[in-house]
């Protein structure tokens, strides 16, 4: 029995990055031998065991063969005869197909260390094209390591293109796709993930609504970058630069989908794109079964982001409707995320990345004013039920009018 550290732990050590998760491969062992040593089985599809003390995962060396569509369409074979090289060749990228023994002696049959040094994301073998999830994984690694200068090898991008055209991507489950998408969006350069998906044709399969934005012009006065797709990438980039949570990044990606529906005759204007985009945002949300908080914020940002930009001009009554739509009284965090998504949208424009956004503090102040209206005096006046709600609304409107006048003076 020989035990090797494999995959990401080896890759990140060689890159000088912190090693968090460690994967282990056991060569030359049987299930019975693992059980006899106190390892606990956890793998349903193939033999994976938990170490009796550390709890880390140890997998028996295995080979795999394509047997169906999608991520799960594989038959695995594990036995003591499977070599380390045979186990490594089934992995996605050369930089993930290296192993180390307990003395840090490197086993690198597919030149992963060379590709690390040359900053190349390259597939290990033609079997790469058998697993559609790898399209998303490679795009995610491109986003993760973009700051180090990593690029996808042309021949790997070509295999990703073939996978995108094969119909295999449609076989991915919503859960598997969302896991990769959400992880990619939380990388330091998530816009690279979207760009790589577009480069290989996967974006038009997975998110045709986002892909449709590229090549659609916007008014240059407001959008010096002009292209709606480029703008979306820039907004996503800003959300990462400002360390925003997943909810905000997801909303930033989807906020302008309605612009993809504008007839060419109306370009570069996009009248009512906020409302038109809601059906598309809802479709993308449902396709990937995005978490509820991501879904809700994406829809709200899509519908109201231009309200955010025009906050200083809004009538007090419109401002109150906006606050009510977000339920700022019970859901203050959601409104805060809306505000920062609007700010990322404003900054995601060529040459305007450092612009100030006074609308943010103005909206926060308005929310505080509305929340500050006390209910107790109204109860003491005998208001209750629907009448109480209307009275509360009148008092909040009065407070917001005073706030607006104060801010203008």
What is the structure's pLDDT at 348? 97
**In the structure, what pLDDT confidence band is assigned to residue 351 with cuts at 50, 70 and 90?**
very high
CB-based contact 132:71 (threshold 8 Å): yes
Mean pLDDT for 251-279 is 97
**In the structure, what pLDDT confidence band is assigned to residue 97 with cuts at 50, 70 and 90?**
very high
**In the structure, what pLDDT confidence band is assigned to residue 314 with cuts at 50, 70 and 90?**
very high
Mean pLDDT for 70-74 is 51
Report pTM.
0.92
- Distance, in Å, from the CA atom of 100 to the CA atom of 87, rounded to the nearest integer, reads 13
Mean pLDDT for 23-28 is 95
**In the structure, what pLDDT confidence band is assigned to residue 58 with cuts at 50, 70 and 90?**
very high
Lowest mean per-residue pLDDT among 189-193, 274-278, 376-380 = 376-380
71: pLDDT strictly greater than 70:
no
Mean pLDDT for 106-114 is 97
Lowest mean per-residue pLDDT among 73-87, 126-140, 255-269, 328-342 = 73-87
**In the structure, what pLDDT confidence band is assigned to residue 77 with cuts at 50, 70 and 90?**
confident
What is the structure's pLDDT at 68? 54
**In the structure, what pLDDT confidence band is assigned to residue 122 with cuts at 50, 70 and 90?**
very high
Lowest mean per-residue pLDDT among 63-72, 275-284, 398-407 = 63-72
137-193 tens-digit pLDDT: 999 999 999 999 999 999 999 999 999 999 999 999 999 999 999 999 999 999 999
What is the structure's pLDDT at 232? 98
Q: Which domains does the chain have, with CATH numbers?
A: 1-110 (3.30.460.10)
Residue that wins the pLDDT comparison between 129 and 211:
211
**In the structure, what pLDDT confidence band is assigned to residue 47 with cuts at 50, 70 and 90?**
confident
Mean pLDDT for 58-80 is 71
Mean pLDDT for 238-261 is 98
Mean pLDDT for 27-31 is 93
What is the structure's pLDDT at 150? 98
38: pLDDT strictly greater than 70:
yes
What is the structure's pLDDT at 66? 57
What is the structure's pLDDT at 409? 80
328: pLDDT strictly greater than 90:
yes
**In the structure, what pLDDT confidence band is assigned to residue 75 with cuts at 50, 70 and 90?**
low
198-242 tens-digit pLDDT: 999 999 999 999 999 999 999 999 999 999 999 999 999 999 999
45: pLDDT strictly greater than 80:
no
Burial of 272 (0-12, 13-18, 19+ CB in 10 A): exposed
């Amino acid at each position: 029995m020989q035990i090797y550290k494999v995959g990401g732990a080896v890759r990140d050590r060689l890159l000088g990055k912190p090693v968090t998760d460690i994967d282990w491969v056991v060569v030359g062992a049987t299930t019975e031998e693992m059980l006899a040593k106190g390892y606990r089985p956890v793998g349903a599809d193939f033999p994976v065991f938990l170490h009796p003390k550390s709890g880390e995962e140890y997998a028996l060396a295995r080979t795999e063969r394509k047997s169906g569509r999608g991520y799960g369409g594989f038959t695995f074979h594990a036995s003591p005869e499977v070599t380390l090289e045979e186990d490594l060749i089934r992995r996605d990228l050369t930089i993930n197909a290296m192993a180390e023994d307990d003395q840090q002696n490197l086993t690198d049959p597919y030149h992963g260390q060379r590709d690390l040094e040359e900053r190349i994301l390259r597939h290990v073998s033609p079997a790469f094209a058998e697993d559609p999830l790898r399209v998303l994984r490679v795009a995610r690694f491109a986003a993760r390591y973009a700051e180090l200068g990593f690029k996808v090898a042309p021949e790997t991008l070509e295999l990703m293109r073939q996978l995108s055209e094969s119909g295999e991507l449609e076989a991915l489950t919503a859960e598997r796709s969302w896991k990769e998408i959400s992880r990619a969006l939380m990388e330091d350069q998530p816009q690279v993930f979207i760009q790589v998906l577009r480069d290989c044709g996967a974006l038009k399969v997975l998110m045709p609504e986002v892909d449709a934005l590229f090549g659609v012009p916007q008014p240059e006065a407001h959008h010096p970058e002009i292209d709606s797709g480029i703008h979306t990438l820039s907004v996503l980039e800003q959300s990462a630069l400002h360390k925003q949570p997943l909810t905000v990044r997801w909303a930033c990606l989807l906020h302008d989908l309605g612009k993809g529906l504008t007839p060419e005759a109306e370009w570069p204007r996009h009248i009512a794109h906020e409302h038109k985009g809601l059906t598309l945002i809802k479709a993308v949300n449902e396709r990937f079964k995005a978490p509820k908080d991501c879904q809700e914020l994406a829809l709200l940002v899509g519908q109201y982001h231009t309200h955010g930009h025009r906050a200083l001009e809004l009538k007090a009554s419109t401002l109150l409707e906006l606050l009510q739509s977000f339920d700022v009284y019970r859901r203050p965090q959601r409104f805060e995320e809306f505000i920062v998504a609007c700010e990322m949208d404003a900054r995601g424009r060529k040459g305007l990345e450092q612009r100030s956004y006074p609308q943010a503090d103005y909206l926060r102040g308005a929310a505080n004013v509305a929340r500050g209206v006390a209910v107790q005096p109204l109860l003491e006046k005998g208001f209750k039920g629907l009448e109480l709600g209307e009275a509360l609304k009148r008092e909040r409107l009065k407070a917001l009018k005073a706030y607006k006048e104060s801010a203008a003076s």
